[in-house]
Amino acid sequence: MEHTFSQIESDLKEKKQKKVIKCVVWDLDDTIWQGVLLENDQLVLREGIVDILKTLDSWGIINSIASKNNYDDAIRMLERFGIREYFLYPQIHWDLKSNSIQKIKEKLNIGMDAIAFIDDQPFERDEVAFVHEQVNCLDVGSIGQVLEWFKPRFITEESSLRRKMYLDDEVRHQEEQEIGNNRKFLESLALTFSIQAATVNDLQRVEELTLRTNQLNATGYSYTYEELEALIQSPDHHLFVAELIDKYGSYGKIGVAMVECNPQTWTLKLLLMSCRVMSRGVGGVLLNYIMNLARQKGCTLQAEFLPTDRNRLMYVTYKFAGFTEAGQLTNGGVLLSHSLAEEVPYAEYINLSLPE
């Protein structure tokens, strides 16, 4: 059955947003392993924990640690068990675990509601839940259900490489600190930004991006594979995906734009960019491309913006690009418009690969 965009939009308003867990933060004592490190217990890894860590990692769900222990001793034990590599940004010290969660959130640049915290101690779970009420705090007895609860609908190439991408970002950050000048650093990365019309092969990743991307999503809408498939078959819509590559490798597919095309007016219904590329100066490239393409087609351009508690930066992106408010939407959003008086230039330090 063919779906119209209005039907799809109506379905989006009715369906509940699926909770997406992007990071599982683990306690160590009597959680990852059985026993207490400081008490010189004979520590044994919890049954099945290695398979759980490896599976989450392959799904693109980051594993981290919030543990009250001596850092060096705990790291040595993780290395002895052969699982150190699966944990990013481990917080192992004597500070409050709510502070550890905050640091992990900032490192990963994700929302608190995308974090699950697993600890055997009710006090620790209650302390985190009191400070960060959006964190999913789970008892150690829930470990057996973790894979069932957190499994994404699709596992994409970007998913399996997510931990490596964060590690690559650490190398980039170190180089940025050494260079000192942001413009020179961006020029040194040899950035290539490619845009292409989405195909069926892209749709799993596009669905994943609409579910996972909150900060740089102009409407906050999420789309299913089936809805996206209907859109790419529609002659009245364009769906574009963007990929970013630099000298360290690919960031994967990191941007999506969907335009509803009428004879005189194009309307941006969806514009999002992965927050992992926020500091690369590429946030406006996809928008600039849509603006220039609409201008070439002799159309005016509108954009829908639906404010959420996280996407203020997208509104700033539109305003910085020259969009002005043109009215209110029935869903509480804002309709923006642009005159497209002249072609928009792209940053000189970005190599562009555009559709023919």
Which class is domain 23-150? Answer: alpha beta
Strands (E), the chain: 23-26, 33-34, 44-45, 62-67, 91-92, 115-119, 136-139, 191-197, 237-246, 249-261, 265-273, 300-305, 324-328, 334-338, 350-353
Q: Contact 151/57 with Cβ under 8 angstroms? A: no
pTM: 0.75
**Selected residue with higher pLDDT from 154 and 243:** 243
Percent of the chain having pLDDT more than 70?
Answer: 94
Q: In this predicted structure, what is the pLDDT of residue 176?
A: 83
Domains 5-16+157-353 and 23-150 share a fold: no
Q: In this predicted structure, what is the pLDDT of residue 232?
A: 92
Return the closest-CA partner of residue 164 out of 92, 249, 105, 273: 249
User: How is the chain split into domains, by residue range?
Assistant: 5-16+157-353, 23-150
Across the chain, mean pLDDT equals 90
**Which residue type does 60 have?**
G
Distance CA 225, CA 152 (A): 13
Tally of CA atoms within 13 A in the half-sphere of 191 that contains its CB: 24
Q: How confident is the model at residue 4 (pLDDT cuts 50, 70, 90)?
A: very low
The answer for 40, left when phi > 0, alpha when psi is -120 to 50, beta otherwise, is left
Classify domain 5-16+157-353 by CATH number: 3.40.630.30
